[in-house]
């Protein structure tokens, strides 16, 4: 009897250990199995790298199915609807039904389309988003790769995603898609500027460009040290995702569906997946850079806790992105450009310079003082920027974009009596 209890206890301990740090244990186990089969060390490394990459990418893609459901459900609640609620409990299987539908749809290539860019564009946009997942540290032991230039890599991979949208716009042989392509270039290139400037602040605090090092060095969350830069980064990352209120490249009221207007079936589905996955990765990146990543009590010794902490933080950020998407109306293109070049970029420059000075002036072990001074400086910059925009800058008349045109009304056979009586200057 005692032996059985002993065995059960060891088994349970093993299970707990596995749950606590699944990736390392799986890694060790697989290495053991493969070397038992007589594979040499390099081959094992290659096989494990391929397996790891594949599981990360597939995990990301399957997670998207859940994200689509979540976004539709949350969006429904924001707009006083129920959202999907027919297929499965709480409509959970709705995305699966949609998936089957989209798999069976016909591919239509418009005449005059530039075949190679047209077909390459959806692949590039999904690929670029999936490539971002590679550098996100999900926990102290769960990450794709730890390259020492992670932050620059993020921006570089984002550029390839831009290329996908531009290729879709140009290759479709459609005027709406072309306009969306123009807008994509303008939007993505301009918002990259404040984003890169503000990205330098976590780099400056941690002294490293690697995502793992940035997450690990956050004894104080960087949002407490640099609240204004976190806000700028958040806004810029929404704009980089082309999410509402910056979703000008797929403004359905002006451009039908924007850059993906000519796509059908799974090719459209890939843009759809890229869009949802992109905002989820944006939330993860924000949580990693400014909210301490996987850091939290006990996360160092039990890596799975770190994964949970990161998920919770990212969910909060993701909810905020959804909240903004479903409540704020779309900007006009000139408003968007003005906001970026005349407000966000100068603000980011000033914040960067001020934070650098404060960071150098105060030794890093005086945490409370650092937080205090950084907050004072940030608030001062914000108040100055606010005053500058509202008071000092001359109030400009909004240029007329479109004059309301008289509507075409059918001539009425018998004009109503009441209308004739109330006409100004009639009988009087």
Partner 1 sequence: MSAGQVIFLLVGAVTLGSGIAAVNARKMLHAALWLVLSLLGVAFIFALLEASFFAVVQVLVYIGAIAILIIFAVMLSRSSLTDEGTQTNPRWWLAALGLLILFVGICAAILLWPKVTSIPAPLPASATDLATLGKELVNPNGYLVPFELSSILLLATLVGAIYTAVEKKEEIKK
| Least separation in angstroms between CB 54 and partner 1 | 19
Compute and round to an integer the Cα radius of gyration of the chain. Answer: 27
Considering beta carbons, is residue 209 or 244 the nearer one to partner 1?
A: 209
Closest-CA residue to 198 (of 340, 310, 80): 340
| Least separation in angstroms between CB 208 and partner 1 | 8
Place of tokens 């690929």: 127
- Give the count of alpha carbons within 13 A of 383, CB side only: 6
Considering beta carbons, is residue 33 or 155 the nearer one to partner 1?
A: 155
The token pair at 346 is 């100068």
| Least separation in angstroms between CB 207 and partner 1 | 8
Considering beta carbons, is residue 108 or 156 the nearer one to partner 1?
A: 156
Which residues contact partner 1 (rule: CB under 8 A)?
114, 117, 147-149, 152-153, 155-160, 162-163, 166-167, 170, 178, 181-182, 185, 189, 192, 207, 209
Say whether 143 sits in a helix, a strand or coil: strand
| Least separation in angstroms between CB 169 and partner 1 | 9
The token pair at 73 is 């459900």
Exposure letters 271-293 (e unless 16+ CB within 10 A, then b): bbbbbbbbbbbbbbbbbbbbbbb
| Least separation in angstroms between CB 124 and partner 1 | 10
**Do 232 and 384 form a contact (C-beta atoms < 8 A)?**
no
DSSP structure class, residue 84:
S
Considering beta carbons, is residue 364 or 367 the nearer one to partner 1?
A: 364
Considering beta carbons, is residue 188 or 351 the nearer one to partner 1?
A: 188
| Least separation in angstroms between CB 186 and partner 1 | 8
417, burial (CB in 10 Å: exposed 0-12, middle 13-18, buried 19+): exposed
d(CA 244, CA 405): 28
Considering beta carbons, is residue 209 or 321 the nearer one to partner 1?
A: 209
């Amino acid at each position: 009897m005692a032996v059985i209890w002993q065995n059960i206890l060891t088994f349970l301990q093993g299970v707990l250990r596995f749950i606590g740090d699944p990736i390392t244990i799986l890694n060790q186990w697989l290495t053991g199995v493969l070397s038992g089969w007589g594979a040499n060390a390099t081959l094992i490394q290659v096989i494990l790298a391929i397996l790891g990459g594949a599981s990360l990418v597939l995990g990301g893609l399957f997670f998207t199915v859940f994200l689509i459901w979540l976004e539709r459900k949350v969006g429904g609640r924001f707009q006083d609807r129920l959202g999907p609620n027919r297929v499965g409990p709480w409509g959970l299987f709705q995305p699966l039904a949609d998936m089957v539908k989209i798999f069976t749809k016909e591919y239509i290539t418009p005449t005059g389309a530039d075949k190679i860019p047209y077909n390459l564009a959806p692949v590039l946009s999904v690929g670029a988003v999936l490539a971002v997942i590679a550098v996100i540290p999900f926990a102290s032991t769960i990450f794709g790769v730890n390259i020492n230039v992670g932050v620059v890599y993020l921006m570089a991979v984002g550029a390839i995603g831009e290329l996908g949208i531009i290729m879709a716009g140009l290759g479709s042989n459609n005027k709406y898609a072309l306009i969306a392509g123009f807008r994509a270039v303008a939007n993505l290139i301009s918002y990259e500027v404040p984003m890169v400037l503000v990205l330098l602040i976590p780099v400056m605090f941690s002294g490293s460009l690697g995502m793992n090092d940035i997450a690990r060095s956050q004894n104080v969350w960087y949002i407490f040290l640099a609240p204004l830069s976190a806000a700028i980064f958040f806004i810029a990352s929404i704009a980089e995702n082309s999410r509402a209120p910056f979703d000008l490249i797929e403004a359905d009221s002006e451009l039908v569906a924007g850059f993906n207007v000519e796509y059908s079936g799974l090719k459209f589905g890939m843009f759809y997946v890229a869009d949802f996955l992109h905002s989820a990765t944006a939330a993860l990146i924000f949580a990693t850079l400014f909210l301490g990543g996987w850091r939290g009590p006990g996360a160092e010794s039990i890596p799975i806790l770190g994964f949970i902490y990161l998920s919770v933080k990212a969910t909060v950020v993701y909810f905020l992105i959804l909240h903004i998407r479903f409540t704020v109306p779309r900007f006009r293109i000139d408003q968007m450009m003005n906001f970026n070049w005349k407000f966000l970029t100068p603000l980011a420059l000033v914040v960067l310079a001020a934070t650098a000075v404060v960071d150098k002036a105060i030794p890093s072990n005086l945490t409370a003082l650092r937080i205090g001074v950084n907050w004072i400086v940030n608030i001062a910059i914000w108040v100055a920027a606010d005053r500058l925009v509202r008071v000092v800058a001359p109030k400009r008349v909004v240029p007329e974009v479109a004059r309301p045109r008289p509507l075409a009304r059918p001539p009425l056979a018998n004009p109503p009596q009441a209308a004739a009586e109330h006409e100004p200057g009639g009988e009087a």
